Every structure is written in structure tokens, then in C-alpha cells.
Amino acid sequence: EKGGHPHFMFKEILEQPEALHKTISPRIRDGRVVMDDLQLDPDYVKNISRIFIIACGSSYHVGMVAKYTFERLLRRPTEVVLASEFRYSDPLVDETTLAIVISQSGETLDTMAAMREAQRRGAKALAVVNVIGSSIARDADHVIYTWAGPEIAVATTKAYSTQLMLMNLLGLYMGDMLGTIDPQEYTDIVAAVEKIPAQMESCLADKAEIQYYASRYFNHNSIFFIGRNLDYALGMEGSLKLKEISYIHSEAYASGELKHGTISLIEPGTLVVALGTYEPLFDKAMSNMVEVKSRGAEVLALTTELCRDKMEKNADATICIPVTHPVLQPSLGIIPLQLFSYYVALQRGCDIDKPRNLAKSVTVE
């Protein structure tokens, strides 16, 4: 059932291009995003004053990426909240609030409770779910499915990627309804979306290089991920993946925050994974990277073909991914980070598919 692979996680990492294709292809027709499974009244959408994205764990990290994309495409204030915080926060919700709830399993208790709380206060809940007919899917006002197929490994990979992509499509769809997207940008993003599965294949084809970096760094006992904007959101997921399955202490930091405390933890040999895939802020990312380097950090950098030369001049090692539209860059950036966690955990002899203390779906508070 693992298709000849040693772990479900590895199988699921490799399945991502196909899973994405299934999530994308029914929803793009003649260069336009269509959502046959979503009946959103345009008048309702025009009235939305505020969006909450509510989720836990990796699904929350999808929300972190989507916040940037939604605010760019919809020009509506979009807040990402952990479900366990939202439910007890006396949230400012009314009928003009849209609550987007993201959950692979559709059974996460906190996410379910937060969704009910938003609905009780007058919001409509739109759920992005993988498991068909799950509790969240049943109780939401609207549901759209990620077509990732069953995900067995505790550490999510293909569900994360398909959630991310579905949020992009939703942002395009609603932004189009609102007229808040520049038509050229809309066309560019849709065209870029269609290329993502093939580009992802090429990221996966570089797995031997990532395995090599894992063998070089698996013995570190603390790893920092730094980045700005979408790279910060990406780093949060990269860091969670790593700690979840390899048990290495890891933290993700917004690069600009380093000076406000964390940089004191950098000592000679500390591994910093510097994310510089978001081209508009590449120079800023680079200067933060140089700062940690000058304090002795070992820097493993991630960037795109656009900035590769500059990055290679400063980092100890550089992983390069193909270029896409900036809002989609995390969809490619996540591949080497998943592979890195996987190979590090493999080197350390961890129980990859069933890491200690964790369950696939958290149905208790």
C-alpha cells in the first residue's frame, strides 16, 4: 500500500504533482477559475468586510500564506487565527464576516468548535477540507474539497500543498467577483498555476541533492528558518515539518525580528535555513542572511533561479527552485523543505510516519 516506498510520507511527497493536478484541473476553464462546487452569492461576497482564516498546525500555515494572497487579491482585511485561540477570544464577528476554515481531516476539534463559534456570531463558514463528508465539511455553510486523496502519514504534505493551491484559486475566484484583481495579474497567476504541477516534478527530481544536505546537517540539534513575507509563512511550515518528524528543535523567524532577540542564539555552526524565494524582498532577505553568517551561522539557502548567483556568493549551500508568480512561490518552496525533513528524520532513525506523541487528527482539546 506504500506503493513500494519505505514510508507513506515519502509516497505522499511524490504524489503532490498529481494531487495538485486533481485539485486544479476541474477549476480552471479557458483561463478562468470556476468553482462549480461553490455557490457563493456575488452580493454576499461584495458585502464581506472581513475574513478570518481559522485552522491548526500546517493548515494554519496555509492560512499564513493565504493571508498575503487574499489581501493582495481581495483588498479585504484577512486575519489568520489559530482555532484554539479564536474560540476563546470573543472574536469580532458579524454577518459581514467570512470564516474560512481549513482542515485536512475535517475532524479537528478546535477547528470545528471555532467554526461553530464564528457561525453563532453570524459569520458564514467556508470550509477547505480533504476528507469527504467529515464533520467540518458537513457543518460548514460552504465546502470545497482538496482532491489530495487519503493522507496516511501524520506529517502532512500533499494535503498542505493542495490546501495552499485551493486557497489561491479561491482568492482568484472571489477577487474576480469583487473586481479587485488587476486583469493582467489574474491572467498571469492562472497561467502560472497551470504550470505548477510540472514545476513541482522538477523540484522532486532534485531529491538526491536534498538527501545530500540532510546527510550533512542531520546532527544539528537546533535549526532556524528565517524569511520575510511569504518566505516567513513557508519557514513556519518547514520548521514544523522538521520538528514533528526529526525531533530537532527548530524555530521559524521573520528575518526582520532577528535583531530583536533571536540573533543572540546564533553561534558558530548554528544551522540557519535562509529562505529567499520571494523575489520582491530578496535583497532584504540577503542582508539578514549576511548578518547571521557574520555571527558564525552555517547557512543553507533556498532561492529561485532568478537570484541564484547572488545567493551562492553568500550562503554555504544553496538549493534552487524554478521561478513562478511570486504568490505561488511557496508551492514550490515547500518541496525541498519536506524532503529535507524527511531525509533528516531518516538519517536519525525516527519513526517517520508515526512520530511520537502525535495523532493524525486531533479530536480532543
Q: Which residue, judged by CB position, is nearest to ligand M6R in the bound state?
A: 57
Q: How far apart are CA 121 and CA 117, in angstroms?
A: 6
- 156 binds ligand M6R, rule: CB under 6 A: yes
Q: By CB under 6 A, how many residues form the interface with ligand M6R?
A: 16
Amino acid in the structure at residue 239: S
User: Can you tell me whether residue 220 is helix, strand or coil?
Assistant: coil
- Closest listed residue to residue 318, CA positions, set 234, 172, 209, 195: 209
The pattern of x and - marking residues 56 through 85 that bind ligand M6R according to CB under 6 A reads: xxxx--------------------------
Choice from 96, 119, 262, 361 touching ligand M6R (CB under 6 A): 361
- 105 binds ligand M6R, rule: CB under 6 A: yes
Bridge partners, residue 250, by sequence: 223
- Give the range of 28-36, 51-59, 200-208, 322-330 binding ligand M6R by CB under 6 A: 51-59
Q: How far apart are CA 295 and CA 275, in angstroms?
A: 18
User: Can you tell me whether residue 351 is helix, strand or coil?
Assistant: coil
Closest CB to ligand M6R among 74 and 155?
155
Q: How far apart are CA 238 and CA 215, in angstroms?
A: 17
Closest CB to ligand M6R among 8 and 282?
8
- Give the range of 38-46, 150-158, 194-202, 307-315 binding ligand M6R by CB under 6 A: 150-158
- Angle in degrees, CA 127, 115, 67, rounded to 5: 60
Q: How far apart are CA 13 and CA 25, in angstroms?
A: 20
Taking the complex as a whole, how short is the minimal distance between the CB of residue 11 and ligand M6R, in angstroms?
Answer: 15
The pattern of x and - marking residues 249 through 288 that bind ligand M6R according to CB under 6 A reads: ----------------------------------------
- 111 binds ligand M6R, rule: CB under 6 A: yes
Q: How far apart are CA 136 and CA 151, in angstroms?
A: 17
Taking the complex as a whole, how short is the minimal distance between the CB of residue 355 and ligand M6R, in angstroms?
Answer: 8
Cβ count near 362 (within 10 Å): 16
- Give the DSSP H or E segment for 230: helix 230-246
**Crossing angle (nearest 10°) for helices 183-205 and 16-24:** 160
Closest CB to ligand M6R among 130 and 277?
130
- Give the range of 15-23, 30-38, 104-112, 261-269 binding ligand M6R by CB under 6 A: 104-112
Taking the complex as a whole, how short is the minimal distance between the CB of residue 187 and ligand M6R, in angstroms?
Answer: 32
- 135 binds ligand M6R, rule: CB under 6 A: no
Choice from 16, 104, 135, 168 touching ligand M6R (CB under 6 A): 104
140: CB partners within 8 A, 6+ apart = 101, 115, 125, 126, 127, 129
Q: At 112, phi and psi to the nearest 5?
A: -60, -50
Say if strands 97-103 and 124-129 run parallel, antiparallel, or are unpaired: parallel
- 244 binds ligand M6R, rule: CB under 6 A: yes
Closest CB to ligand M6R among 240 and 299?
240
- Give the range of 3-11, 103-111, 191-199, 307-315 binding ligand M6R by CB under 6 A: 103-111
Rounded-to-5 percentages of helix, strand, coil across the chain: 50, 15, 30
- Give the range of 23-31, 99-107, 204-212, 262-270 binding ligand M6R by CB under 6 A: 99-107
Q: How far apart are CA 173 and CA 176, in angstroms?
A: 5
Taking the complex as a whole, how short is the minimal distance between the CB of residue 359 and ligand M6R, in angstroms?
Answer: 8
Binding site for ligand M6R (CB under 6 A): 56-59, 103-105, 108, 111, 154-156, 240, 244, 361-362
